[in-house]
Amino acid sequence: MSHRQILFVIFGLMAGMFLSALDQTIVGTSMRTIADDLDGMALQAWVTTAYLIVSCISTPIYGKLSDIFGRRPLFLIAITIFLVGSLLAGLANSMYELAAFRAIQGLGAGGLMALPLTIMGDMLAPRERAKYQGYFLAVFGVSSVIGPLIGGVLSGSDTILGITGWRWVFLINLPIGVIALAIVLKFLHVPHFARPVRIDWWGAVTVILAAAPLLLVAEQGRTWGWVSTPSIACYVIGALSIAPFILAERLMGDDALIPLKLFRSSTFRMATILGVFVGFGMFGAMMTVPLYLQLVNGATPTESGFLMLPMIAGLMVSSIVSGQLIARTGRYKMFPTIGTAFMSAGFLLFTFATADKPVGFMMAGMLLIGLGLGQLMQTLTIASQNSVGPRDIGVATSASTFFRQIGGTLGTAVLFSVLFTRIPGTINAAFGNPTIASGVRAAATDPAVQADPANTGILALLADPGSVGGALDGDTSFLNAADPRLAEPFLVGFNDASVTVFWVSLAVVLVAFVLSLFLKAPPLRNTSALQEAADENAAELAELAEQAEPTRDAQRAADRMGALIETGVDVDEFERAPRPKPS
């Protein structure tokens, strides 16, 4: 394919991936408005959980099905399902309906996240692939910045074209999706080499039974309680389903949903483990840092999106630079080590955060984390794809994405649990600080502060000391315009709890740094998966033809002998007769 053809295909793939990436950021900003309108504030977590679980579980299924039936039809199906889910979500009349329709969206999103990287793996040799994958990371960057902005604008409008503003959060996917469909239909024509396979139904069922309960408890465990009856039920179901899943995959062999032979490669095995740790750190940063910016630095949700720009810029720059270096040299072993080192430096800087530090301090840490992520995300994907044969590109890519999402989900659950477990203690400790406590008392007795309506909520809270520790579990709007002296203990408490989270993230990323030293990096191949598959097919056909040649020669001799007998010729005499020498 020419560079121009590749770019057209990439535009279509990016448009599809943009749908899924944007949806994760645009909905979060709008969720409170949506819950208020549909009268379902208590159910809003299920809207996010349904999308996350279905998209995560469907990822390896898309990878395997695309190996069987081809990339193009599965990618078109994924876009179509996502658009149907978006349309239905935009028409939802209750939070229960919205959660169900978000699950449909998630079913499409699983393909939108895994298949573009798989198709890139088909079209381009690993060395060439690194130059183009920076474009896909740019999609995540752009969606992370504009998602909160668009979500805030749409959900903040009463009506747009006669339709309630928040509904456009989902309906905006329709024109983008139609463009993606048009580009894919016109330009994406990837050859598919069909081969007889068995569909791994048992693998699909058991991976759902194993992953869904664990993802569910990761999302809901803090609300339910980690040792509550629903949580324990999820632990048991998930744990009991892991053994049947492994057994099903072993029995299916090469036709398995996630073939166990992939893990025989030390490169794939280590890249997958690193992906889990990187997902833990990446999602942990992307979920906790915006919350920190909003509470401690006083940013609005939209402003916090823009303040994340250093992380996005670092991610894009390091991705492009590392991609160019990989394409020129064919070497990539150093990038996971350098990337985890940069992430470690970023989280280490975060551990020195205090409530009175300027926002530029956090932006410096975000830049370091972004520089690390840009070297890790594409390199680990390339390493996974390069470690398997061309026929396993789909399952290898989807498995890598699947385990990174698992790590991200666990990271979010663990870090938020640590954060909200620590907050009551750190807030009470801040109130125990003599300097802070005296400032609070002075402000609380100041007539001007008492007369300001902006301080009513926080003064009422301070009147009940027993409720202070859990003040940040729910609505935190009482801090927005409150007197700084009254808000200080809450900001200091949240900052100190966040520092604990940053220490946990640092520990996880340091483990990834050590593991990266043991990543084996075989040379990148110079041919694409499609070319390798075509070469393999040609070799198989040549071998079959060579095996069949003696059979064809014997058949021709038998036919000739039969024809001679029919004409009455003495065959023995004919065979003894001298033959003319060929000229």
If asked whether residues 539 and 489 sit together in one domain, one would say: no
Would 54 be classed as within a structural domain?
yes
Residue 185 lies in a domain: yes
Extract the runs of DSSP E, i.e. beta strands, from 293-346: none
Instruction: For residues 549 and 465, state if they share a domain.
Output: no
Bridge partners for 245 per DSSP: none
How far apart CA 121 and CA 194 sit, in angstroms, is: 18
Give the C-alpha separation, 161 to 92, whole Å.
18
Residues 488 and 561 in one domain: no
| Residue 109 shares a structural domain with residue 192 | yes
Chain position carrying tokens 């859990």 = 470
State whether 66 and 140 are in the same domain. Answer: yes
Q: How far apart are CA 365 and CA 310, in angstroms?
A: 9
Predicted confidence at residue 292, as pLDDT, reads: 84
| Exposure of 163 in the CB half-sphere (CA atoms within 13 A) | 13
What is the reported pTM? 0.78
Asked whether 118 and 394 are in contact (CB, 8 A), the reply is yes
Q: How far apart are CA 470 and CA 466, in angstroms?
A: 9
Q: Are residues 550 and 467 in the same domain?
A: no
Both 31 and 146 in a single domain?
yes
Q: Which residue has the tokens 């002296």?
A: 485
Choose the most confident range, by mean pLDDT, from 69-78, 471-480, 551-560: 69-78
Least confident of 92-106, 254-268, 277-291, 484-498: 277-291
Q: Are residues 485 and 545 in the same domain?
A: no
What 3-state DSSP class applies to 481? coil
- Place 340 in a pLDDT band, splitting at 50, 70 and 90: very high
Q: Find tokens 């191949």 and name the residue.
A: 525
pLDDT at 324 over 90: no
Q: Above 80 in pLDDT, residue 400? A: yes
Provide the pLDDT for residue 529: 63
Where is average pLDDT lowest: 114-123, 145-154, 409-418, 531-540?
A: 531-540
Mean pLDDT of the chain: 80
Residue with token string 């990618």: 75
Tell me the per-residue pLDDT of 42-58, one tens digit each, with 9 for 90 and over: 566 677 778 888 888 88
DSSP letters, 451-480, are H-GGGHHHHHHHT-GGGSTTTTSS--GGGS
Identify the band that residue 85 occupies on the pLDDT scale cut at 50, 70 and 90.
Answer: very high
Element (H, E) at 159: strand 159-160
Looking at residue 344, its pLDDT comes to: 92
DSSP 3-state assignment of 160?
Answer: strand
**145 & 53 share domain:** yes
CA distance 288 to 279: 14
- The whole-number pLDDT of residue 513 equals 93
| 208 lies in some domain | no
pLDDT value of residue 560: 65
Domain end among 152, 176, 200: 200
Q: Which of 162-166, 247-251, 499-503 has the lowest mean pLDDT?
A: 162-166
Considering the domain boundaries, does residue 175 fall inside one?
A: yes
What is the rounded CA–CA span in Å between residue 300 and residue 293? 8
CATH of the domain at 55: 1.20.1250.20
Closest CA to 133 of 322, 355, 2: 322
Are 10 and 139 in a shared domain?
Answer: yes
Of the residues 470, 496, 522, the one at which a domain ends? 496
- 274 domain-assigned: no
User: Percent of the chain scored above 70 by pLDDT?
Assistant: 83
Spatial contact of 279 and 273, defined as CB atoms under 8 Å apart: no
Q: Is residue 347 part of a domain?
A: no
SS3 state of residue 115:
helix
SS3 percent helix, strand, coil of the chain, rounded to 5, is: 80, 0, 20
pLDDT at 121 over 60: yes
Which of 239-253, 334-348, 565-579 is least confident? 565-579
475 with 544, same domain: the answer is: no
* Average pLDDT over every residue of 170-185: 86
The answer to whether residue 281 is domain-embedded is no
Provide the Cα torsion 419, 425, 431, 435; round to 10°.
-80
Distance CA 39, CA 35 (A): 6
DSSP annotation of 157 reads: S
Q: Is the pLDDT of residue 235 over 60?
A: yes
Kind and range of the H or E run holding 377: helix 359-386
Instruction: Out of 289-298, 354-363, 424-433, 524-533, give the one with best mean pLDDT.
Output: 354-363
Amino acid at 328: R
Answer with the one of 135, 168, 200 that is the final residue of a domain.
200
Q: Which pLDDT score is estimated for 480? A: 67
Q: Give the pLDDT score at 484.
A: 78
Q: Which residue segment(s) compose the domain that 474 sits in?
A: 425-496
- For the chain, the domain total comes to 3
| Highest averaged pLDDT of the listed ranges 27-31, 129-133, 395-399 | 395-399
Question: Residue 133: CA atoms inside 13 Å, Cβ hemisphere, count?
Answer: 33
- Triad 330, 335, 338: Cα angle to 5°: 150
Range 226-240 average pLDDT: 87
Does 118 fall in a domain? yes
Nearest-5° angle of CA 242, CA 215, CA 81?
A: 105
Indicate the angle between helix axes 393-431 and 434-444, nearest 10 degrees: 70
Asked if residue 52 and residue 185 are part of one domain, the reply reads yes
